[in-house]
Amino acid sequence: MFHSVAFAAGGLMLTPPFVGYLDNILVLFFLAAALPFLASSRDSWPARLILGLFLLLCGLTHPTTLVIFCLVLGLMAVLRLVIRRFDLRSVLRDDGPMLVTAFASVVLTVVIWTVGIWGRSVSLAEAALLPPYGVDFFLDRLILWVKAMRPLLNGPLLVIGLVGLLARRPWRRLGEDDLTRVSVAWLAPLVGIFGFLAGVAYTYYRFFNTTLAWVLLVGIGAYFALRFFIDRARHGGINALAWLGVLAVVFILATNFTTGFKLSGWTNPNNQWIEPQTKQDMEALRDYLATQDPDRPVVFVIDDEPPLPFQIYAFAKLTGNTSRYGLPTGMIDQGYLYLGSLDNYLQGQPSERGNETYDELSPALLEDAEKGIQRSGKDPIVVLASQFNKAGANVDAPATDAALAESEVVTVSDGQVGEGGNLIESPTSDGESDGTILHLLRVVGGFLLLLVPGFIAFKALLPDGELPEALGMVPALSAALLSFAGIAVIALARGPFSLPLTLISVVLAAVLASLLGVGAGRGLPFTSGGRAVRA
């Protein structure tokens, strides 16, 4: 089962619900690691602390997914309540600690977001901003995602996995089997994909990356199918149909990878997050900005004419992300966008094109930039990058234009930076290469160092844990402990994350892991005989 689920999950992680959605990947990583602690939180304070930590980090990573998962936990408790014939006391005894821990994580998430621990307070509403699209767009994207997941091949495995789990546990035992209970209840978020039936416009497809149940069930279905066919082949002599069934399941799992690599472009060296020319331009800009006042705002003037009018929103969002690559340390929070013509920006006016999305986005970005400039109290650095203006109003703006000279607009094109219409000589490289063996060894050594806190926690809390458990839990525990320690350190230091602060965070995370082990060894049991974690 471990190998089937691992290969199935690996292949499906290359599908659209996960490729590029780093926050969703991370929050599901934390939730997957939290699953073994749901039942063990019943009678273990270390388990409750770890579960609460994972859920809190989920709230900082993707709050809406945390809320959905907490509702799933409530559904699990309701399922157990029904199966136990509404024996509320026993359900509160078994699921109460889990639910209280989840509730506490939600409260802490709200407090951290609204109060702010190292920056401005932010409303939780900022975590759920919908693109300005209609039902047709969201439905087309949903259909595209479903097709990419190959439902005709993976769908039967999902059904086999769900039926197989339910068949292993009669109805009266369903509420006591944690694996089955969470697998069934965690399918509930998928109801959100059917919102188009009510004519409501929202991101239906994004409910696929709020749960791992469908991914895990495909792997479990592959396990049941392989077991069935292999057993028939072993006991039935030369059974061609049985071996054909084995090959069919292996074919599905293998082609999930090949299809996923083709769709995601991960094996295509030309399909990069930042195009090579954009990368070169932003690196030149970063070298220039490093010589400027770090408190000055930086406004990127951008424009485009995408094939579909509403895609201007996606262009602006992607440009906003890639433009930050051109900002040096200490200026990331000083970056702003303006959508429209350079002339309009210099006159303090939004740009209009007769398109609803464009005409709403341009003034909103202008207002955001003006507020940032007012807060800083300093004149902004206006950047006109050719890679962000391949089409639209600024495509023909020459570097020698009189307006550029008068406004001190910074231009970036072909790896060169211009100021006021004059090119600025780029700083020469020191010749050091990042591709040396020493550098690679340093990177590997750094990753191994980051695993130390997770290894300490794993050995202390799961001394009998096996290799599959270690492969999953050591990186997860390290990520959780390091994230928590890093957040605490930055909240106190109030400065950029430097090498000394990194080492302090690693040491602090290792100390926290050791304290969990001490707590487990002093009458605070981690599991109930290991049964829950094994499940």
| pLDDT, tens digit (0-9, with 9 covering 90-100), for 363-411 | 999 999 999 999 999 999 999 999 999 998 898 765 445 555 555 789 9
- Kindly give the interhelix angle for 213-235 and 240-264, rounded to the nearest 10 degrees: 150
pLDDT at 164 over 60: yes
Which pLDDT tens digit goes with each residue over 278-320? 999 999 999 999 999 999 999 999 999 988 777 899 899 999 9
Q: What is the pLDDT of residue 406?
A: 57
Alpha-carbon separation of residue 251 from 3, 215, 345, 358 (angstroms)? 15, 17, 56, 46
**What is the overall mean pLDDT for the chain?**
87
Q: What is the mean pLDDT of residues 142-146?
A: 94
What percent of the chain clears pLDDT 70, i.e. is strictly above it? 90
Which of the 8 DSSP states describes residue 1? -
pLDDT, residue 324, reads 94
Three-class DSSP category at 382 = strand
**Weakest-pLDDT range from 121-135, 212-226, 310-324:** 121-135
- Cβ-based neighbours of 96, under 8 Å, separated by 6 or more: none
What is the model's pLDDT at position 462? 80
* DSSP code of residue 43: S
Least confident of 134-148, 401-415, 486-500: 401-415
Residue 178 has a pLDDT of 80
| Confidence (pLDDT) at 250 | 96
Nearest to 483 by CA among 18, 4, 29: 29
Lowest mean pLDDT among 186-190, 286-290, 423-427: 423-427
Q: How confident is the model at residue 457 (pLDDT cuts 50, 70, 90)?
A: very high
Six token digits for residue 48: 């409750």
Q: Is the pLDDT confidence value at 237 over 80?
A: no
Answer yes or no: is pLDDT of 101 > 50: yes
The pTM of this model reads: 0.83
Going by pLDDT thresholds of 50, 70 and 90, the confidence category of residue 520 is low
Distance CA 185, CA 204 (A): 19
Q: Where are the beta strands (DSSP E) in 180-294?
A: none
pLDDT score, position 434: 58
pLDDT in tens, 336-363: 999 999 999 999 999 998 888 899 999 9
Whether the per-residue pLDDT at 188 is higher than 50: the answer is yes
Q: What are phi and psi of 33, to 5 degrees?
A: -70, -25
pLDDT of residue 499 exceeding 70, the answer is yes
Q: Is the pLDDT higher at 334 or at 531?
A: 334
Which phi and psi (to 5°) does residue 384 adopt? Answer: -115, 100
Residue 476 CB-half CA count within 13 A: 26
Burial class (CB in 10 A: 0-12, 13-18, 19+), 370: middle
Q: What is the mean pLDDT of residues 255-272?
A: 86
Confidence label for 149 from pLDDT (cuts 50, 70 and 90):
very high
Read off φ and ψ for residue 364, nearest 5 degrees. -65, -40
Q: Which pLDDT score is estimated for 531?
A: 39
Give mean pLDDT, residues 54-60.
Answer: 95
pLDDT for res 421: 62
- Return d(Cα 377, Cα 380) in angstroms, integer: 9
